[in-house]
C-alpha cells in the first residue's frame, strides 16, 4: 500500500495579521544578511582588517544584493509587456516585499560591486575578496529560500513523494476576504523545491567554511569562490528540473531546449567555477 504523507503547508507570511509588512520573508532575508556579516567579520579579523572597511563593504553588498536580485527578476523573468507587465506598471519593480528576486541578477550586481570595492576601498586582489564573500552569500541565500517557502513561491512539480508539500496559498483559488477556503484533498502535492534549495545552500555553506578554515582555502585565491559557483549554481541547475516554471518565459524555453532560464544562466557560472578551481589547484601544485 502506498502511503501519502503529505505536508499541508498553510503558513502565513504575515507577521501581523492583516498587514503585508513586516513579513517573514523580509525577516528571513535580513537574518541571512546579518549571519553573513558575522561570518565575514571573523574572516576580516583574522587578517587584521578594520571594522570600518567591513562596514563599508556592507554598504556595498546590501544595495547590490537587493537591486541586483530585483532587476534580475524583472529582466530575466518578466513579464515585461501587457496590462500586467512591468513596463505598464514600473512602480511594481520597487515592491520587493511581494517577492520576485532572482539570484542570477544578484550575482551580476554583487560581482560588479565587489570589483569596485576590492579596487577602490580595500585594495586587495579581486579573487581575494570573492573568496571571502562566498560563504556569507551562501548562508544568506539559504535564508532567502526559506523566505520563498513561507511565501508559498518557487514551488516544485506535482509529485507523490512522502515529503511533498501542499502549498495552500499557491494552489487554492477560492479566496474570500483573505481566507483560503479550499479542501486539502483538492490541492496537489508538490516537490518543496524552495526547501531543497535552502538545504542545498546550507550544505554549501558548511562545505565552503570547511574549505576556507580547515583546508586553508583562503591561501589559494579562487579556490573557495570557484567551489561556491560550482555548488550554488550546480544545485540550482539540478533543482530546476523539479521546479515549476515561474513565468511564461520559462515555459517557452522549456519547450524549445529542455532547459529553463535559470539553468541557462547557471551554466556559464558553473564553468567559471570549474576554471577557477583548476587554476587554484594548479597554482598550488606549482608552488609546492
3 state SS for 160-213: CCCCCEEEHHHHCCCEECCEECCCHHHCCCECCHHHHHHHHHHHHHHHHHHHHH
Cα-flanking dihedrals φ and ψ of residue 84, to 5°?
-105, 0
pLDDT at 66: 81
Angle at 234 between CA 195 and CA 58, to 5 degrees: 75
pLDDT at 262: 80
Residue 252 reports pLDDT greater than 50 = no
Give the total residue count for the chain: 288
What is the tens place of the pLDDT at every residue in 160-181? 999 999 999 999 999 887 789 8
The overall longest dimension of the chain from CA atoms, in Å, is 68
pLDDT over 70 percentage in the chain: 84
Residue 9 pairs with which residues in a beta bridge?
Answer: 167
pLDDT over 90 percentage in the chain: 52
The stretch 226-243 carries a mean pLDDT of: 95
C-alpha to C-alpha distance for 130 and 199, rounded to whole angstroms: 22
Q: Who's near 35: CB < 8 A, 6+ residues apart?
A: 136, 139, 140, 143
H or E element, residue 8 = strand 7-9
What is the tens place of the pLDDT at every residue in 69-124? 877 777 766 665 556 666 666 766 666 656 566 777 788 888 899 999 999 899 99
pTM here is 0.84
Residue 131 reports pLDDT greater than 90 = yes
pLDDT at 83: 60
Helix ranges restricted to H, the chain: 24-46, 51-72, 103-120, 126-150, 168-171, 193-209, 223-239, 248-257, 261-287
C-alpha to C-alpha distance for 252 and 61, rounded to whole angstroms: 33
Residue 94 pairs with which residues in a beta bridge?
Answer: none
- Which of 219, 228, 37, 35 is closest to 130 using CA atoms? 228
Residue 6 reports pLDDT greater than 80 = yes
How much is the mean pLDDT over the chain? 86
- Which of 118, 112, 11 is closest to 56 using CA atoms? 118
Amino acid at each position: 500500500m502506498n502511503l501519502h504523507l503529505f505536508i499541508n503547508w498553510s503558513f502565513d507570511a504575515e507577521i501581523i495579521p492583516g498587514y503585508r509588512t513586516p513579513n517573514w520573508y523580509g525577516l528571513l532575508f535580513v537574518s541571512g544578511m546579518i549571519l553573513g556579516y558575522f561570518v565575514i567579520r571573523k574572516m576580516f579579523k583574522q587578517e587584521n582588517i578594520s571594522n570600518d572597511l567591513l562596514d563599508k563593504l556592507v554598504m556595498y553588498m546590501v544595495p547590490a544584493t537587493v537591486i541586483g536580485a530585483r532587476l534580475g527578476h524583472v529582466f530575466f523573468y518578466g513579464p515585461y509587456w501587457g496590462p500586467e507587465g512591468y513596463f505598464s506598471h514600473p512602480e511594481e519593480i520597487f515592491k520587493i516585499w511581494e517577492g520576485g528576486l532572482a539570484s542570477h541578477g544578484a550575482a551580476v550586481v554583487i560581482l560588479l560591486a565587489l570589483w569596485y570595492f576590492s579596487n577602490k576601498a580595500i585594495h586587495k586582489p579581486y579573487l581575494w575578496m570573492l573568496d571571502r564573500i562566498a560563504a556569507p552569500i551562501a548562508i544568506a541565500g539559504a535564508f532567502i529560500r526559506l523566505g520563498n517557502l513561507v511565501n508559498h513561491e518557487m514551488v516544485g512539480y506535482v509529485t507523490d513523494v512522502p515529503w511533498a508539500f501542499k502549498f495552500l496559498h499557491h494552489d487554492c483559488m477560492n479566496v474570500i476576504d483573505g481566507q483560503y477556503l479550499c479542501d486539502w484533498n483538492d490541492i496537489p502535492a508538490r516537490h518543496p523545491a524552495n526547501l531543497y534549495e535552502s538545504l542545498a545552500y546550507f550544505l554549501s555553506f558548511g562545505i565552503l567554511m570547511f574549505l576556507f578554515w580547515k583546508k586553508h582555502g583562503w591561501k589559494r585565491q579562487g579556490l573557495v569562490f570557484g567551489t561556491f559557483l560550482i555548488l550554488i549554481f550546480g544545485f540550482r541547475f539540478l533543482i530546476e528540473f523539479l521546479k515549476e516554471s515561474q513565468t511564461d518565459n520559462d515555459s517557452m524555453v522549456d519547450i524549445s531546449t529542455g532547459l529553463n532560464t535559470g539553468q541557462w544562466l547557471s551554466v556559464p557560472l558553473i564553468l567559471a567555477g570549474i576554471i577557477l578551481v583548476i587554476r587554484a589547484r594548479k597554482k598550488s601544485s606549482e608552488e609546492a
